């Protein structure tokens, strides 16, 4: 007997989650659909269930800054395919999603049949992007190098970088993660080394430059 397919929809818009879940139910009646409205809920569901086969991840929701959620999930669960579901259809955004480890990219404008085809392709082990999107361009050398560097961060280092980008102090990060300030300082030092920068501010700026995180509106340009 074939195991049940479990798909986790991570999006902060309940109407879209409901519509997407209904579409999946129509196309794949045997599938189990789980829903999360933020990254904390995603983490809790993944910790509670080892049966998730695919995550459909929005780029904009609580706990996610740019591609940070994708980077974190790829580091924490490298065996679990993640497909970005986004209102954006910019080739640069799609290309960077794939470079950060996404197994596919589904624009929210697609119809139900196309979404179903995309999900089936990824579950079969393929990578799926919209057929009419031209990804022939390439990143500049500096951005490509930074993407490679970000991919070397551990899951905890990704979380620390996300919190740095939110402007949290070491003691605040330590409290949120339940670790000592010394541990946070060690993570920050490792992040600076891996990104090839000299300060926390530079780390946040270079990560935000390619959408890995987003600085607060008060951040310097």
Contact between 84 and 129 (Cβ < 8 Å)? no
Average pLDDT per consecutive 10 residues, the chain (221 residues; last block may be shorter): 79 90 89 90 88 91 80 89 90 88 92 89 92 73 83 89 89 94 96 94 85 45 29
pLDDT given at position 56: 95
Domains of the chain: 6-123 (3.40.50.2300), 141-209 (1.10.10.10)
HEC-encoded secondary structure of the chain:
CCCCCEEEEECCCHHHHHHHHHHHHHHCCCCEEEEECCHHHHHHHHHHCCCCCEEEECCCCCCCCCCHHHHHHHHHCCCCCEEEEECCCCHHHHHHHHHCCCCEEEECCCCHHHHHHHHHHHHCCCCECCCCCCCCCCCCHHHHHHHHHHCCCCHHHHHHHHHHHCCCCHHHHHHHHCCCHHHHHHHHHHHHHHHCCCCHHHHHHHHHHCCCCCCCCCCCC
Sign of CA dihedral 159, 212, 66, 155: negative
pLDDT given at position 55: 96
Contact between 204 and 219 (Cβ < 8 Å)? yes
What is the value of pTM for the model shown?
0.81
């Amino acid at each position: 007997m074939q195991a049940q397919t479990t798909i986790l929809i991570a999006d902060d818009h309940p109407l879209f989650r409901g519509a997407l879940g209904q579409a999946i139910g129509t196309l794949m009646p045997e599938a189990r659909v789980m829903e999360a409205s933020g990254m904390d809920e995603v983490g809790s569901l993944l910790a509670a269930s080892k049966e998730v086969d695919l995550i459909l991840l929005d780029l904009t929701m609580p706990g996610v800054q740019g591609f940070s959620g994708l980077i974190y999930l790829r580091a924490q669960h490298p065996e679990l395919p993640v497909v970005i579901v986004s209102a954006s259809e910019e080739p640069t955004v799609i290309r960077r999603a794939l470079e950060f480890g996404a197994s596919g990219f589904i624009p929210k404008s697609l119809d139900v049949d196309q979404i179903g085809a995309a999900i089936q392709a990824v579950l079969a082990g393929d990578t799926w992007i919209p057929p009419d999107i031209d990804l022939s361009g390439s990143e500049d050398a500096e951005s490509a190098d930074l993407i490679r560097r970000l991919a070397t961060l551990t899951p905890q280092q990704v979380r620390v970088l996300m919190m740095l980008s939110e402007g949290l102090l070491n003691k605040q990060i330590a409290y949120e993660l339940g670790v000592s300030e010394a541990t946070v300082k060690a993570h920050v030092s490792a992040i600076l080394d891996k990104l090839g920068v000299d300060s926390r501010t530079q780390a946040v700026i270079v990560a935000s430059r390619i959408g890995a995180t987003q600085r607060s509106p008060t951040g310097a340009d």
